[in-house]
Amino acid sequence: MAHADTARPCPAPPRSRTHQTRPGRVGSPDDVVNTGVVLACDEAAYIHGAGLVVDGGWSTVLPGTTT
C-alpha cells in the first residue's frame, strides 16, 4: 500500500472517450468505495475469490488495456 505522501495519482483517461463507457464519465473515488460497501454487506457473503474490475468499462474501451 502506498502512503498518501508518496502516491502518485493515476493519469486521467482521455475525456474524448468517456462517452464510450456505460457511465459516460470518469469514475470517482466514491465509485470504488461503493463497490467495497456492497462486498461488505451480508448479502454478498456468497462472493469468494472473485476479481472485480471497477473501471466503468474503461478496460473494454482503451486499446492495450487488459484485466
What is the share, in percent, of the chain residues with pLDDT greater than 90? 15
Please give the pLDDT value at position 1.
44
User: Average pLDDT of 36-44?
Assistant: 91
* Res 49: pLDDT: 84
Question: How far apart are the C-alpha atoms of 13 and 64, rounded to whole Å?
Answer: 13
CB-based contact 52:35 (threshold 8 Å): yes
pLDDT single digits (tens) 16-39: 666 777 777 778 889 889 988 999
Q: What single letter denotes the amino acid at residue 29?
A: P
First vs last C-alpha separation in the chain? 20
- pTM for the model stands at 0.52
